Structure 1
């Protein structure tokens, strides 16, 4: 068995096979169009590859995608060393080929390939099948809890200093504090816009409006959100709350934006930095639940890259 990078023709062939797994709400033709559109997005063009695990005769046994994403390693002196990490998505084995360990072999060979990259730090994935399969290949699971907030009527701009537009993602991302941990992943504005592109694709299928804003600021605090997938939800992509009062204002604005856009709820992925906010989140139309799928798992790709037990994995990193 060996690993190869897929051609465009091979990617299209895999699209036809993966439709049954990830084509919810779409026809096969619409799903094929979705995949081409997402691959054409600037973030994908800059660092996405599809990988195939092939048998000796060239037959494809399993496949996955990788997206180059930013990361930082903190030195003992506190300075940040930028590098490249890789988000892994769409790990797929045809049903007739399952049970032979091909996905594990794919992940092992892929790690060996990614370790050769000159600035490599780590790989991250979001498992929908639990931790066991990927733990075989050295991936460590992180905690995965969600907060669901009910929509609230009102003007989203009311409780905050300003609402953010999609064209202001770069400025907004620059306001966010880097996590105070020895290693962390960090998205780019193009990566966050890739999430919003998914929402642009799905909005008409969900019967809702695209949010008119992409987030908000309150004091020194910032939140980024969007309709990002196959569910009519306002998903928080990044949240940097400097105080409880500012956190309340940002989340209240999110709830109002969800109501204005006809969305069913706000979804916030819990992060270690949110611990002071937990009393604020309890009650009042909010629920904490164990996440259904999308379990974050991380594997270092070079010696000296730690996986902190409280490593943040915001929704903006998901693929």
Structure 2
């Protein structure tokens, strides 16, 4: 086997990676539409500053488009509370789109790439943590160093009988998303300083929320629905809010990030999400990392450990038993 290297890929290599993985992540799209979607996402402010692309290639042919394996890496601001009990702002690198072309499978290239990436991140003094979401079970990444974390999901069937309380209003512009998420970040920092055990949390940056919601907008336009008009919900006069992700493939509205002080407000957010779901003939509302909700009835399914998008985390050079807080959909890549 030739000597292999892990390096940041060229534009041509990234284009080739899309040709490779369209079969996995381009369901329902033509290859031109898939390229268009990825170009749209790469043009967002978040992707422009936080997206990196890596390839595993032979050392003697580093610009080849015959890629042995490839992945994408996204930078996240995060907080880490060590045994000292003080929240430190850290850089977290989130791994996504791990892919080995069909013709190269069975040769260990994905494992080689991920081992190299783990070591590279571990040796970077600016990087303290890394996350990923596994669609291939918990074992593969756990053996490399990304430890499987609790991945709870609550699924609520859409029902037309839910009434939206007057206290709950739609978020209909991105500036309001920015305001609420920015305020939320301030509060998260204050709250993390009060955590008494080792803990980790990705911060819900406004530009990251917009990046995920841009995906919704792309599909909304392609399906002839025009523009997404509702980006979430909030309780005026409070800091309670939720941001939405319209997943047209799953016919679901995901809660990206929610701050709620009561079951009453949570149910109000669900009611507004139900109304929004009915607009697009969606079937369910999905929330990550929250307990069962009182008063929802038998339309609620609590999944203790997801089979896809299984959360995994590593804190480099730290052996403490870390709890991942706020492990909601906004942290996904």
Q: Same fold (TM over 0.5)?
A: yes
Gaps in structure 1 of 5+ consecutive residues = none
The equivalent position to 2:314 in structure 1, one of 284, 299, 302, is 299
Give the 3 Å change call, closer, same or farther, for CA 207–149 of structure 1 in structure 2.
Answer: farther
- Partners of 2:182 and 2:205 within 8 A in 1: no
The equivalent position to 1:286 in structure 2, one of 300, 303, 306, is 300
The equivalent position to 2:40 in structure 1, one of 37, 40, 65, is 37
Alignment of 1:105-144 (within 5 A): 105-144=112-151
Q: Distance in 1 between matches of 2:148 and 2:73?
A: 19
1:262 maps onto 2:270 in alignment: no
- Partners of 2:51 and 2:75 within 8 A in 1: yes
SS of alignment partner, residue 168 of structure 1? helix
- Partners of 1:146 and 1:268 within 8 A in 2: yes
Q: Distance in 1 between matches of 2:219 and 2:319?
A: 37
The equivalent position to 1:150 in structure 2, one of 143, 157, 160, is 157
1:231 Cα offset (Å): 2.7
Deviates more, 1:212-221 or 1:28-37: 212-221
Displaced runs of 4 or more, over 6 A: none
Aligned length: 313
- Partners of 2:18 and 2:35 within 8 A in 1: yes
SS of alignment partner, residue 287 of structure 1? strand
The equivalent position to 1:191 in structure 2, one of 204, 208, 211, is 208
Q: Distance in 1 between matches of 2:148 and 2:261?
A: 27
Per-residue CA deviations over 1:55-80 (Å, capped at 9, x if unaligned) read: 23425210000000111122566542
SS of alignment partner, residue 98 of structure 2? strand
1:184 Cα offset (Å): 1.5
1:313 maps onto 2:322 in alignment: no
Per-residue CA deviations over 1:135-181 (Å, capped at 9, x if unaligned) read: 12111111223222233447986443432233322211134342646
Give the 3 Å change call, closer, same or farther, for CA 138–195 of structure 1 in structure 2.
Answer: same
SS of alignment partner, residue 33 of structure 1? helix
1:305 Cα offset (Å): 7.3
SS of alignment partner, residue 279 of structure 1? coil
- Partners of 1:38 and 1:194 within 8 A in 2: yes
Q: Distance in 2 between matches of 1:231 and 1:207?
A: 17
- Partners of 1:198 and 1:229 within 8 A in 2: no
Q: Distance in 2 between matches of 1:207 and 1:229?
A: 12
Per-residue CA deviations over 1:203-230 (Å, capped at 9, x if unaligned) read: 2445656542211223442211121463
1:168 maps onto 2:176 in alignment: yes
- Partners of 2:95 and 2:130 within 8 A in 1: yes
1:249 maps onto 2:268 in alignment: yes
Q: Distance in 1 between matches of 2:99 and 2:69?
A: 6
RMSD of equivalent CA atoms? 2.5
Give the 3 Å change call, closer, same or farther, for CA 183–146 of structure 1 in structure 2.
Answer: closer
Give the 3 Å change call, closer, same or farther, for CA 306–188 of structure 1 in structure 2.
Answer: farther
Normalising by the residue count of structure 1, what TM-score does the alignment of the two structures yield? 0.88
Gaps in structure 2 of 5+ consecutive residues = none
SS of alignment partner, residue 93 of structure 2? strand
